[in-house]
Structure 1
């Protein structure tokens, strides 16, 4: 006999695994964009373009493939994009703080990715599973 608690854990685990897989693909894509752009523009501009690329990926893929059975209306997708924009701004701020502390941009981005990934999962799940 399945309990609501057990079903919730299963759903959380599935969401987490799909988020991790999609996040790896998205992170790989955005990290490549960021690293390539560092040859021609500043770290902040590289980060902006990489995030816009990742944002399109999130709005298209996450509601359908990551949080299956969750909310998928246009409003939900726009809200998800809005959450990611807020996390983007916090990541941009964190990147700047790390640079001011002397962390090299190629390493700083990895630290930003860890922090923003955790925040994005919590916010995305709360939004699409409410």
Structure 2
């Protein structure tokens, strides 16, 4: 019975975090996409994507710790979030370039495919990273 209650409590917490991640990530995505689409008016897609992505790193560094995973925003956690997102950026930009340059998908559409592919990876990696106990 105790194990079932523990698992149930963990499941509820996981679902709550996932919902908050999707809400915060959705807002971040909307802001990032809007900035990306705007910057495409003047800059090539790699520069527009990079600039928008950096703005998103700052946003998520502040929002994911407090709102999603309910841990304090420390310099260490903010740095871990930023470093993870730099890795995620590399994967995302590589996927975006593959979709645009190799598959011929329009750059304005390819970014949506890229984001959809990265969401599950980002949630589980950030959850593990930001909730890790400090040593």
Q: Tell me the equivalent position of 1:96.
A: 97
Query: RMSD value over aligned CA atoms?
Result: 1.3
Output the CA distance in 1 between the equivalents of 2:128 and 2:55.
23
> Which structure is richer in relative contact order (CA contacts within 8 A, separation 6 or more)?
1
Using structure 1 for the length normalisation, give the TM-score. 0.94
Would you say 1:15 and 2:17 are equivalent positions? yes
SS in 2 for 1:3: helix
Q: Tell me the equivalent position of 2:52.
A: 50
Alignment of 1:1-40 (within 5 A): 3-40=5-42
Q: Tell me the equivalent position of 2:69.
A: 67
Structure of greater Rg: 2
Give the superposition deviation at 1:71: 5.5
Structure 1 unaligned segments of length 5 or more: list them: none
List 4+ stretches of structure 1 deviating above 6 A.
Answer: none
Output the CA distance in 2 between the equivalents of 1:39 and 1:25.
22
Q: Say how many residue pairs are matched.
A: 129
Output the CA distance in 1 between the equivalents of 2:6 and 2:32.
37
Output the CA distance in 2 between the equivalents of 1:128 and 1:71.
10
Using structure 2 for the length normalisation, give the TM-score. 0.91
Q: Tell me the equivalent position of 1:128.
A: 130
Which range moves more in the overlay, 2-11 or 99-108? Answer: 2-11
Structure 2 unaligned segments of length 5 or more: list them: none
